Amino acid sequence: MINILFFGRLGDFAKGVPSTIQANTPQEIRDLLAVDFPALAKELSEPQVLVSVNQMIVGWDQQLMDGSEVAFLPPVTGG
């Protein structure tokens, strides 16, 4: 199983999302979530959203291993 986390405003869209999922890539996680959580999947599809696997920024096609932690990071602004 893959542990999934949502940071920032993505957490607002992730209410009710299970904390673990079975998937091979972050892209597959997004596709699976789109079935029951279309608003979240839409937010995750924004080009500024980054994906992290085991605390390293990776591409959406990164292969996942059982026990991986996948975090979805919204765009950040500073000032």
The reported pLDDT for the residue numbered 67 is: 97
| Sequence spans of domains, the chain | 2-73
The model's pLDDT over 56-77, given as tens digits with 9 standing for 90+, comes to: 999 999 999 999 999 999 987 6
The model's pLDDT over 6-58, given as tens digits with 9 standing for 90+, comes to: 999 999 999 999 999 999 999 999 999 999 999 999 999 999 999 999 999 99
Does pTM surpass 0.85? yes
* Residue of 53, 49, 61, 57 whose CA lies nearest to 24: 61
CATH for the stretch 2-73: 3.10.20.30
